[in-house]
Amino acid sequence: MDWAYSPQYGKDVRTELLKNASGQIAYCLVYGLKSPNGEDLPEAGKTDDVSYRVLMNGYPQKTPENLGVSDWKEAHYATQLALWNALGQISVDELQFKNAAVQKAAKNIIHAANQSQDTQDVWMNVIPTDKQEAQLNGEYFETTTYNVQTNAKKGTFQVQMNNAPQGTRIVTEQGEVKETFQLGEKFRIQVPKSSKSSELSLKVVSNLTNVHAIVYKGTSTIQDATVLLERSTEQVSTDLQVFWKANGALKVMKVDENQKPLPGAVFEIANSNQQVMGTITADKNGIAEMGNLELGTYTVKEVKAPVGYVLDATPKPFEVKTGEIAVVEMKNVQIKGNIEIKKISDTGKILPGVEFTVFTPEGKVVTKVTTDQEGIAKVNSLPFGKYYFQETKGLEGYLLNQTKYPFEVKE
């Protein structure tokens, strides 16, 4: 090996290949002390990130080819020099190199470490972090996908939920139900659509593995050593919030006995606690609607009938289901009335056989009736509205009375 000469120390800077009990390459942390030679050194935490970044950009994380040297020995030497430089024990710039490739490799490792922001401290973020509204998708309210971001090399995670309705699921991006996820997998929360509007919280609990620059503590004569080893830690995310709105709607169809749509009816909607949720009015098509109703049971009651129809104040129950429209048909019976006409002469004589015609205000014939032996003519079941009647066929010996007699059938 062509060792580099140090004017500071007045000698060549030499190093040895160190390995731990598992055969992994270790590096010296204190220049000038003896290297470990079979001693069982205790583990003493980890180095700082400066040393960690040197090791991550040196051998064996990078191959000799990556480092631009001819073999592992030169790669190992360049890495050790870069580490001592980072620790302030040797200045690579002041060394006198006999091997230009090793010199260049050491400087490249130092430069890469200085440019790096990598840390051996494991971090984890779960995104999105803002409160999510789960949207109805088929049989479930479903969140957007959550992604676990971390600098860990590998690991697994589970999702813990609080206040989740029965049947709530944690699924992969493809919809597979899982309990334990691998890093890189995304997940969603699915809440059964039969659940009432509410919210839940979730957190991610992970077991993450990353490479650490572990320190083996030496003595006053034997230097400390460091080696890159995998270590696992548990990380727990902050609580994330999910909410959903389990809403449906009501559609009332107002018709008469012949299924003719009736506008103008007013309905009152009440929940299962008899709390009035509001009123709705039938439009020109006889339809009244109310949206954004929480899932549950309700009643609809007519509080104002269409003009000319009998009020039906019987409450009718209906059930609101998530994402569905409850349809209730309500019928009204038209208001009807009777009229009795009595025909007598100017002397008070009863006159049978006289014909009367009932007209609409526009002059359209509704019906014709004739007085009986009592001088009475009856018209039954006249629909709500305004009319007039007129004598249209009299008796011989009597003048025809052409007076129009208006009347009204009303409530």
- For strands 187-192 and 169-172, give the pairing: antiparallel
Rounded-to-integer distance, Cα 287 and Cα 298, Å: 18
Residue 190 has what pLDDT?
98
Classify 66 as helix, strand or coil.
Answer: helix
Residue 70 has what pLDDT?
97
Rounded-to-integer distance, Cα 364 and Cα 310, Å: 25
* Cβ 312 vs Cβ 305: under 8 Å: yes
* Cβ 68 vs Cβ 104: under 8 Å: yes
* Cβ 202 vs Cβ 159: under 8 Å: yes
- CB count within 10 Å of CB 70 equals 13
Residue 389 has what pLDDT?
98
The burial class, CB within 10 Å (0-12 / 13-18 / 19+), for 204 is buried
Residue 134 has what pLDDT?
98
Global confidence as pTM: 0.70
Specify the amino acid at residue 383. P
Residue 35 has what pLDDT?
81
Residue 36 has what pLDDT?
78
What number of helices (H) and strands (E) belong to the chain? Answer: 4, 30
Residue 34 has what pLDDT?
86
Classify 239 as helix, strand or coil.
Answer: coil
Only one residue has tokens 């039954």, namely 380
Distances (CA, A) of 391 to 338, 348, 355, 375: 18, 17, 6, 13
* Cβ 92 vs Cβ 13: under 8 Å: no
* Cβ 58 vs Cβ 109: under 8 Å: yes
Question: CA torsion angle for 290, 292, 296, 298 (degrees, to 10)?
Answer: -20
Per-residue pLDDT in tens (0 to 9) along the chain, 411 residues? 899 999 999 999 999 999 988 899 999 999 988 887 777 788 889 999 999 999 999 999 999 999 999 999 999 999 999 999 999 999 999 999 999 999 999 999 999 999 999 999 999 999 999 999 999 999 999 999 999 999 999 999 999 999 999 999 999 999 999 999 999 999 999 999 999 999 999 999 999 999 999 999 988 888 899 999 999 999 999 999 999 999 999 999 999 999 999 999 999 999 999 999 999 999 999 999 999 999 999 999 999 999 999 999 999 999 999 999 999 999 999 999 999 999 999 899 999 999 999 999 999 999 999 999 999 999 999 999 999 999 999 999 999 999 999 999 987
* Cβ 118 vs Cβ 56: under 8 Å: yes
**What DSSP letter does each residue of 194-205 carry, written as one string?**
TSPSEEEEEEEE
Rounded-to-integer distance, Cα 321 and Cα 325, Å: 8
Residue 28 has what pLDDT?
94
Rounded-to-integer distance, Cα 204 and Cα 189, Å: 12
Residue 287 has what pLDDT?
98
* Cβ 204 vs Cβ 237: under 8 Å: yes
